[in-house]
Amino acid sequence: MAYQIQKADLDNDGEFIVDFWKRNFPTWPVQKFQWLYRENIYGPADCWLLKETGSRNIVGAQAVFPRLVYCSGKPFLAGTIGDLGVDERHRTLGPALQLQKAAAESCRNGKYAFLYGYPNERSEPVAKRAGFQVVGNSDRMARVFNSGPYLARVIRIPLLPWVAGKIADQAIGILARENRIRTYSEYRSVLLDHTDESFDELWEKARNNYRLIGARNHEFLSWRFVNCPLRKYQIFSLQRISNNSLAGYVVYYQQDGVVQVSDMLGETSNLFAETVLPAFLRFISREECDSASVEFMSPKYLLDCLSSFHFKVRSGNRNIVAFSEQKGEVNQQIFKPENWHFMAADNDG
């Protein structure tokens, strides 16, 4: 079967792209197209459509979403690959590979300094065939706050898991590191549903602490989380009482009793570990949640930091892949996993 690749015109092809989603990704809301493809603050998405030769019907699609990334303090426009899909009867290596190669070409022609993505197990071999390289494996870490539901999976005696869980949770709470760290009177915890210029000030202070990090200013955070139609995010912030400046923040949402952390940043790594994270953990421990989970690829300090607060590494991690044919500093940095600060905020929605 022969196929042709066509660059999408978002104005004229939007309806057809959404119809394609309805067949292949039925849980995606229609609003995602406007938000992610058209309103991205770094520019509209590039999207390639796969069609059978001689037909107008879309049987596959692949997008690249612009993302401003700082490498050694310098800004570069990167592209996040995502939304790769092919209709079921066309799911062989060839069609998907054609789409991935079209995305890679957008990097070769100079629009993007590099491309990166977070493919699932089925998509990763396609990405590697198209020239992407595996950068490294993400870590998924979780901490349990309510042991009852987990004990109930192995203890079948009625009520016993919940009683045992309450006792265990109270003991763990007493010993928890965040409850042994001194609470500093100069800070206050504030739960926000918006961002403002204080996030810009935090970003300017924090960004040079990282070799490779996506922009996290007020404009980006507002678009990525506050305006996101996919889920309802909350923003935990730790503010200085004296001047309302931010020491750091954690963005999260709750789903099925789990606090899913999507982004976090501190003015310095030390301030985050000793002040922001403990305050956040004390806050969510008072909420009705069973556990907290975070997935990331970052310098080892973050893994060590979370481990010190009783987070445990869980299975289900995925690889981050990248593509670049540029020479120079960007190419030297992006294929070293220890350089990245990657979280859900850097993924395609």
**What confidence tens digit (pLDDT) does each residue in 172-202 have?**
655 666 777 766 689 999 999 999 999 999 9
DSSP class of residue 137 equals E
pLDDT in tens, 146-164: 764 654 565 656 555 444 5
- Same domain, yes or no: 151 and 175: yes
- Same domain, yes or no: 61 and 117: yes
- Same domain, yes or no: 114 and 154: no
Report yes or no on 65 lying in a domain: yes
- Same domain, yes or no: 38 and 147: no
pLDDT in tens, 277-330: 999 999 998 887 889 999 999 888 999 999 999 999 987 678 999 999 877 778
Report yes or no on 75 lying in a domain: yes
- Same domain, yes or no: 162 and 62: no
Report yes or no on 56 lying in a domain: yes
> What is the pLDDT at residue 327?
75
> What is the pLDDT at residue 13?
93
Model confidence at 145: pLDDT above 90: no
Domain that holds residue 122: 3-137
Dist. CA 314–CA 142, nearest whole Å: 7
- Same domain, yes or no: 150 and 296: yes
Report yes or no on 329 lying in a domain: no
Report yes or no on 270 lying in a domain: yes
Q: Which of 147-151, 207-211, 222-226, 321-325 has the lowest mean pLDDT?
A: 147-151
Residue 285 · residue 107 · CB < 8 Å: no
Mean pLDDT of 107-117: 92
> What is the pLDDT at residue 166?
62
Report yes or no on 344 lying in a domain: no
Domain boundary among 69, 102, 137: 137
Residue 58 sits at φ, ψ, to 5 deg, of -80, 125
Report yes or no on 325 lying in a domain: no
Q: Which of 133-137, 151-155, 176-180, 332-336 has the lowest mean pLDDT?
A: 151-155
Q: Bigger pLDDT: 55 or 120? A: 120
Q: Which residues contact 328 (CB under 8 A, 6 or more apart)?
A: none
Q: Which of 13-17, 127-131, 178-182, 308-312 has the lowest mean pLDDT?
A: 178-182
- Same domain, yes or no: 204 and 91: no
- Same domain, yes or no: 145 and 129: no
Domain boundary among 137, 168, 185: 137
- Same domain, yes or no: 179 and 37: no
Report yes or no on 107 lying in a domain: yes
Dist. CA 48–CA 100, nearest whole Å: 9
Q: How far is CA 133 from CA 202, 321, 336, in A?
A: 33, 5, 11
Model confidence at 69: pLDDT above 90: yes
Q: Bigger pLDDT: 312 or 1? A: 312
3-state secondary structure of 272: helix
How many structural domains compose the chain?
Answer: 2
Q: Bigger pLDDT: 57 or 247? A: 247
CATH number at residue 267: 3.40.630.30
- Same domain, yes or no: 171 and 268: yes
- Same domain, yes or no: 45 and 59: yes
- Same domain, yes or no: 88 and 196: no
> What is the pLDDT at residue 31?
95
> What is the pLDDT at residue 223?
98
Domain boundary among 137, 170, 203: 137
